[in-house]
C-alpha cells in the first residue's frame, strides 16, 4: 500500500536577557509584533505541523535516510518527488513508441491509472510535444530509491527465443518441449531436470505431452529461462506454422544459474550467454552436466500467433502483451504493474533514456531499483539481452 511520510523539524531559541534598555525595548516590541502577525498569516494558510514524535520507536531507524516531504513509500522502495528536469533525455525520446506499450497497459489498467486511459488513447496520434506536455501536467515524477536512500540499481535484459521445431522427433529434432503433466498439481515438487531426462517414471508421466521438438538442448534451456518463445513448427503434412509457446508452470524445483555453475567450476570467466555458448561448442560431452546443474524445468502451452500477436511479445505478469524496448519486468513490491517509468542506463551494451511501462516480473528481479528490459525476439534481441548487465536509475511517473 502506498502512503505518505512527512518529516518535520522544530528548533527552539534561547531566552533573552532580563536587562533591556528603552530603545531596545521599543525594538523588541516591534519584533514581537511582526512575529505575531507572521505567525497568524502562516496559520491562516497551512495546517499546524504534526507533533514531534516522543517515543523512541516513532523515530526513523538509524540506517534509513531522512524522508523528503511528499515521499511515497512502497514495501521495498521509497519514491522521492523531483522536478521533470531531473529526468535525463526527456526531450529526445520517441514517445509514440512507448505509447503502444501504454495502450496495452490500459487494457488492464492499475486503479491509479484507469481514469487517465481515455486521455492516453486520444493522445496516441498526438505529436511528441503534445504527449510530453500532457505527461508533465498530469503526472508527477518520483525518483525510485531503496528504503535506505540508494538510487543506483541493476538493468538486465530478456527476450523471446525464436526456434525451428517439428511436431515429431527425428531428423535432428530430439529435445521435447512439454505441456504440464497431469499430476503436476498433486506432486510438489515434481521431478528435477535430470530426472525428467533419465528417470523412466518421469518420462512415462510425460508420454504424449510433447508440444514440439527442437534441435538444441541449450536453446531449449534458454527457452525455459525466458519463459516463452516462438516456434517455426514443421507440421506432419510438411507445412510450416508460426506458434508461440507460453509459460504454463514449473516443477517447483529451485532455479540454479548454469552461468554461476560454470564460474564456480572454474570453466569460464565470461558467464554471459555468448560466453556460455562458446564453452558449449568446445565441450559438447559436458552439456548435460551443465544443464542438470539447474534442476528447475518449465512446462508450456501452445498459443496461436496471428499478425497482430506477432507485433508484440508474450503476455507479462500484468496480463498484457509486452512491447519490445518499452516493457520492463520489475519487483512489484517496489513498482506496481502498469506504472509508466522513466529509465536511464548507460554501459557497454546500450545507452538508454526513455519511457517504459512496468508490465512484468521475474524470480530474479528483486529490489527497489531493479529492472529486466524486454528486447524483443530472435537472435539479435537475444544477443543484446544476453550481454545486458549495467547500471540503472528509475523514476516512477504517478498521477498528480
Residue 205: inside a domain:
yes
CATH number of the domain encompassing residue 190: 2.40.240.50
Residue 275: inside a domain:
yes
| Domain region containing 286 | 162-309
Report the predicted TM-score, pTM, of the whole model to 2 decimal places.
0.77
**Sequential pLDDT tens for the chain (400 residues):** 333 333 333 333 333 333 333 333 343 343 333 333 333 333 333 333 333 333 333 334 434 455 666 999 999 999 999 999 999 999 999 999 999 999 999 999 999 999 999 999 999 999 999 999 999 999 999 999 999 999 999 999 999 999 999 999 999 999 999 999 999 999 989 999 999 999 999 999 999 999 999 999 999 999 999 999 999 999 989 999 999 999 999 999 999 999 999 999 999 998 888 889 899 999 999 999 999 999 999 999 999 898 778 899 999 999 999 999 999 999 999 999 999 999 999 999 899 999 999 999 988 899 999 999 999 998 899 999 989 999 999 999 999 9
Residue 300: inside a domain:
yes
Residue 282: inside a domain:
yes
**What whole-number distance in Å separates Cα of residue 343 and Cα of residue 355?**
6
C-alpha cell at 249: 508452470
Residue 302: inside a domain:
yes
The number of residues in the chain equals 400
Residue 117: inside a domain:
no
Residue 255: inside a domain:
yes
- Computed on alpha carbons and rounded to an integer, the radius of gyration of the chain in Å comes to 28
Q: How would you write 15-29 as a 3-class SS string?
A: CCCCCCCHHHHHHHH
Residue 130: inside a domain:
no
DSSP for 313-357?
Answer: --B-TTSSB--TTTEEEE-TTTS-TT-EEEEEEESSS-EEEEEEE
Q: Which helix (H) or strand (E) holds 8?
A: none
Number of domains in the chain: 1
Amino acid at each position: 500500500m502506498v502512503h505518505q511520510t512527512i518529516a518535520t523539524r522544530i528548533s527552539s531559541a534561547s531566552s533573552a536577557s532580563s536587562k533591556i534598555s528603552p530603545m531596545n525595548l521599543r525594538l523588541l516590541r516591534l519584533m514581537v509584533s511582526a512575529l505575531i502577525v507572521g505567525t497568524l498569516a502562516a496559520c491562516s494558510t497551512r495546517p499546524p505541523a504534526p507533533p514531534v514524535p516522543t517515543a523512541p520507536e516513532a523515530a526513523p531507524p538509524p540506517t534509513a535516510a531522512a524522508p523528503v516531504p511528499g515521499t511515497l513509500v512502497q514495501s521495498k522502495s521509497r519514491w522521492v518527488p523531483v522536478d521533470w528536469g531531473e529526468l535525463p533525455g526527456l526531450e529526445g525520446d520517441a514517445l509514440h513508441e512507448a505509447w503502444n506499450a501504454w495502450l496495452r497497459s490500459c487494457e488492464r489498467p492499475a486503479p491509479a491509472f484507469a481514469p487517465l486511459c481515455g486521455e492516453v488513447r486520444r493522445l496516441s496520434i498526438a505529436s511528441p510535444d503534445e504527449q510530453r506536455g500532457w505527461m508533465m501536467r498530469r503526472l508527477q515524477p518520483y525518483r525510485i530509491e531503496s528504503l535506505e536512500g540508494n538510487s543506483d540499481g541493476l538493468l538486465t535484459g530478456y527476450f523471446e527465443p525464436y526456434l525451428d521445431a517439428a511436431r515429431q522427433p527425428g531428423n535432428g529434432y530430439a529435445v521435447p518441449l512439454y505441456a504440464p503433466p497431469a499430476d503436476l498439481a498433486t506432486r510438489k515438487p515434481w521431478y528435477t531436470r535430470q530426472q525428467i531426462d533419465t528417470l523412466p517414471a518421469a518420462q512415462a508421466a510425460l508420454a504424449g505431452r510433447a508440444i514440439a521438438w527442437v534441435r538444441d538442448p541449450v536453446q531449449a534451456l534458454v527457452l525455459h529461462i525466458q519463459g516463452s518463445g516462438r516456434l517455426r513448427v514443421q507440421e506432419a503434412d510438411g507445412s510450416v506454422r508460426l506458434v508461440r509457446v507460453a509459460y504454463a508452470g514449473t516443477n517447483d524445483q529451485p532455479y540454479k544459474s548454469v552461468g554461476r555453475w560454470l564460474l564456480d567450476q572454474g570453466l569460464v570467466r565470461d558467464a554471459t550467454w555468448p560466453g556460455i555458448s562458446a564453452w558449449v561448442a568446445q565441450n559438447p560431452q559436458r552439456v548435460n552436466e551443465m544443464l542438470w546443474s539447474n534442476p528447475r524445468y518449465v512446462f508450456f502451452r501452445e498459443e496461436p500467433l496471428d499478425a497482430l500477436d506477432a507485433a508484440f511479445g508474450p503476455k507479462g505478469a500484468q496480463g498484457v502483451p509486452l512491447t519490445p524496448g518499452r516493457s520492463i519486468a520489475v519487483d512489484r513490491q517496489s513498482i506496481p504493474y502498469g506504472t509508466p517509468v522513466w529509465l536511464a542506463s548507460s554501459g557497454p551494451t546500450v545507452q538508454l533514456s526513455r519511457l517504459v511501462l512496468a508490465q512484468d516480473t521475474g524470480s530474479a528481479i528483486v529490489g527497489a531499483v531493479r529492472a529486466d528490459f524486454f528486447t524483443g525476439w530472435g537472435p539479435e534481441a537475444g544477443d543484446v539481452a544476453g550481454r545486458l548487465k549495467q547500471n540503472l536509475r528509475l523514476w516512477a511517473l504517478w498521477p498528480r
